[in-house]
C-alpha cells in the first residue's frame, strides 16, 4: 500500500522568510512524487515533480524539493515567501507501472503574514 502524510495542516510564515512544507511517503516501489498548489477556487497547479532523476528538484516560482529515500521524505522549500504564495499545497505520489492513480496528502494551508 502507498500513502502520503503531510505533517502540518497549517503553516504560517512572514513575508520574506523561508518556507518549509513537510511531506513523508510510504511506497513499496520507487515512487514518482509531486507537489501541487491550489489557490482559492482554482484548480491544482503542478509546482514540481520527482521521477528518479536528480534528488533535488527545482520547480516554478522559486520552490524546490529534495527527495530523501532514507527518510522517505519529499519536503517543499522556498528561501523567501511572497504574499502570493498563500495557498493550499498538496503532496502526491504515483507508483510507475501501476494503474493506481495519484495518492494525495491531506494538504497544508500556507499563510503568509505581511
| DSSP-derived 3-state class of residue 105 | coil
Q: What is the DSSP pairing of strand 19-21 with strand 73-78?
A: antiparallel
Answer for which of 8, 44, 62, 72 binds another protein (CB under 8 A) is 44
The answer to the question of residue 36 lying near another protein (CB under 8 A) is yes
Residue 12: CB atoms within 10 A of its CB come to 12
Closer Cβ to another protein, 13 or 89, answer by number: 89
Which positions touch another protein (CB under 8 A)?
32, 34, 36, 41-46, 49, 51, 88, 90, 94, 96-99, 101-102, 104-107, 109
Amino acid at each position: 500500500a502507498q500513502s502520503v502524510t503531510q505533517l502540518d495542516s497549517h503553516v504560517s510564515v512572514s513575508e520574506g522568510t523561508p518556507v518549509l512544507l513537510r511531506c513523508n511517503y510510504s511506497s513499496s516501489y520507487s515512487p514518482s512524487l509531486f507537489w501541487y498548489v491550489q489557490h482559492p477556487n482554482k484548480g491544482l497547479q503542478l509546482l514540481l515533480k520527482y521521477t528518479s532523476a536528480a534528488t533535488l528538484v527545482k520547480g516554478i516560482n522559486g520552490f524546490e524539493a529534495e527527495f530523501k529515500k532514507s527518510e522517505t521524505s519529499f519536503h517543499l522549500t522556498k528561501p523567501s515567501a511572497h504574499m502570493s504564495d498563500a495557498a493550499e499545497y498538496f503532496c502526491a505520489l504515483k507508483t510507475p507501472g501501476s494503474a493506481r492513480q495519484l495518492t494525495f496528502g491531506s494538504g497544508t494551508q500556507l499563510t503568509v503574514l505581511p
